[in-house]
Structure 1
């Protein structure tokens, strides 16, 4: 039996904030209570309220403000000797680093957060930090390493009845199955995640699950159903001001349109997603949207040499971010578009081992 979804990152005076609260509301309340905590002279409360401010900024795409806020939260937690609050601040910083495409930094901060959570006896902070490590590895493409950790975290979340974490783990494992070709298993897990999130009133989790379902359904040549699921998810993203989730929703909409050979519509949607990712300085999303845009323009008759040059630059960008499957993605695009690679992009030496 799972409980209603909770938001453990909203702490101190903000514990009553719902997981479904608009991020602008969370930010406003967080700033208000942070100022009160600063006046009261309680570094512990400053750290806890500062965490909510950092997370609201991060999810709204305000990366400079988010970076400043999590570091301030950590300093306050350290001055108070609160290991749990220190763990949460490091988790927020690690999650921000992943969002910014700084995967090495993300691994380091999330590892420190998991250790700090364990030392401080904060089981939830440790669980979220381990989940962050697992998600970072999955995004990087290191499925073999993180699959077992995903399964472990799913089992722990189910045992504790934590709906939000169960939904997250289901979606992560489903994404691994999707990326390794087990589409039936992936769809079943995304559907389970969507149902559980709905029952637990976790609107954010359900929006991400619907996006995963739409992806697989469009691969099965049902674009209209996929677009309908994305439209439902988009409403949640807009109502909760989920900037990053909305950008990824739009990129998936573009993917669906591209697969349906609606290339002009796909081009426009990729451009919209690209602008959204750029506004929040999310290089991974930018690179993936750019890849879709290059493919759409190629299908619309763009010069092959220009397409090849863009794919070459994208390979370098994805490598720099640290995505292990970057070469596979670009090689697939070369083959799909019938474009010759440049500078030995697909030679034996450049392939991932």
Structure 2
């Protein structure tokens, strides 16, 4: 069982004024006003935390970095270790979004420890979720499988829908990446159900993307595209810049798998522009890989493609994306196995 989704990262007066489905422009406006009006270090810490999250979700990474550090400094000044843990969660999540995965793990690990020491259970769960996702993105499944299960157990124990969806979607993604599409689909569909029941529009949007991915892998292209369109409406309504860009990249994946290479190329180009605008290197590199594969299928010179793949492999290795690097190697193998066009 679980209750309605809520947003514990909005604290103090902002916690009663904002909800899990508040648009991030609304959050940024309210948090900025609260920061100006704050009388105490604790109030400034809470307002800056909300401001950091709004800016991060909107793709304003410099402003997000300034805000989470401001939140941490004020929380430390106020002697509030629990709020310091929240700020570290925000900073670690931003670092992951910016492709700084080692920094992300360091900040999130510190956030886990501070939250545990201060008894801030929700911040502890959020930081655990961040650690699990960071390790999963790096392809370190053996190290993070237990973290996902721990988070899921906590979510079920306390009836917290967002924790449950984060954990289950992470497990589903690992199942999908190891070829267990049946279980992956069941888990993603359960995430859709939970987030819908909990009135968590953001969780629903991300979960729909997961369902669409697996349906596409099973050849159900039109159903997948319809679900991505549904998720895109949510992303636009809530100003979810990063989620929208990943939605567009996934649409490119679905079109590519269906052999619609020109449409896929156009969609990857849209996603790349969006990722570049918010300076998100992981998404940008994945979109570049999609573009390279689409252009290759459309007749691009093979040597040019191989040169680009080599650059992408270096980028993925630098960021620490093992699965994506394996994808480059696999596609290079396909390219070199095919007879050259003359």
Q: Which runs of 5+ in 2 are unaligned?
A: none
Q: Deviations along 1:108-139, whole A, 9 cap, x unmatched?
A: 00011111111111011111111111110001
Listed as ranges, the matches of 1:144-223 within 5 Å are: 144-223=142-221
8 Å Cα contact 2:162-2:195 kept in structure 1: yes
Listed as ranges, the matches of 1:252-271 within 5 Å are: 252-271=250-269
Give the CA deviation at 1:294. Answer: 0.1
From the superposition, tell whether residues 98 and 339 of structure 1 become closer, same or farther in structure 2 (CA, over 3 Å).
farther
Task: Report the Cα distance in structure 1 between the residues aligned to 2:322 and 2:264, rounded to whole angstroms.
Answer: 26
Task: Report the Cα distance in structure 2 between the residues aligned to 1:69 and 1:228, rounded to whole angstroms.
Answer: 37
Structure 1 position 30 matched with structure 2 position 28: no
Give the CA deviation at 1:326. Answer: 3.8
From the superposition, tell whether residues 7 and 140 of structure 1 become closer, same or farther in structure 2 (CA, over 3 Å).
same
8 Å Cα contact 2:135-2:143 kept in structure 1: yes
8 Å Cα contact 1:135-1:172 kept in structure 2: yes
Task: Report the Cα distance in structure 2 between the residues aligned to 1:269 and 1:231, rounded to whole angstroms.
Answer: 13
Give the CA deviation at 1:325. Answer: 2.6
Structure 1 position 334 matched with structure 2 position 332: yes
Q: Deviations along 1:66-96, whole A, 9 cap, x unmatched?
A: 0000001100001001001100001100000
Task: Report the Cα distance in structure 1 between the residues aligned to 2:244 and 2:266, rounded to whole angstroms.
Answer: 15
Partner residue, 1:107: 105
8 Å Cα contact 1:263-1:296 kept in structure 2: yes
Q: Deviations along 1:193-239, whole A, 9 cap, x unmatched?
A: 00110000001001011000000101111111000000000000000
Task: Report the Cα distance in structure 1 between the residues aligned to 2:131 and 2:337, rounded to whole angstroms.
Answer: 36
Normalising to structure 1: TM-score of the pair?
0.94
Alignment RMSD (CA, Å): 0.9
Task: Report the Cα distance in structure 1 between the residues aligned to 2:217 and 2:84, rounded to whole angstroms.
Answer: 43
Question: Paired residues, what number?
Answer: 337
Task: Give structure 1 regions of 4+ aligned residues with deviation exceeding 2 angstroms.
Answer: 324-327, 335-340
Q: Which of 273, 276, 298 is matched with 1:275 structurally?
A: 273
- Secondary structure of the corresponding residue to residue 20 of structure 1: coil
- Secondary structure of the corresponding residue to residue 322 of structure 2: coil
Give the CA deviation at 1:339. Answer: 6.3
Partner residue, 1:306: 304
Q: Deviations along 1:116-167, whole A, 9 cap, x unmatched?
A: 1111110111111111111100011101110111011101101110011111
8 Å Cα contact 2:286-2:324 kept in structure 1: no
Q: Which of 81, 84, 97 is matched with 2:82 structurally?
A: 84
Task: Report the Cα distance in structure 1 between the residues aligned to 2:312 and 2:185, rounded to whole angstroms.
Answer: 29
Q: Which of 275, 285, 288 is matched with 1:287 structurally?
A: 285
Q: Which runs of 5+ in 1 are unaligned?
A: 341-353
Normalising to structure 2: TM-score of the pair?
0.97
Partner residue, 1:66: 64
Task: Report the Cα distance in structure 2 between the residues aligned to 1:116 and 1:196, rounded to whole angstroms.
Answer: 29
8 Å Cα contact 1:226-1:256 kept in structure 2: yes
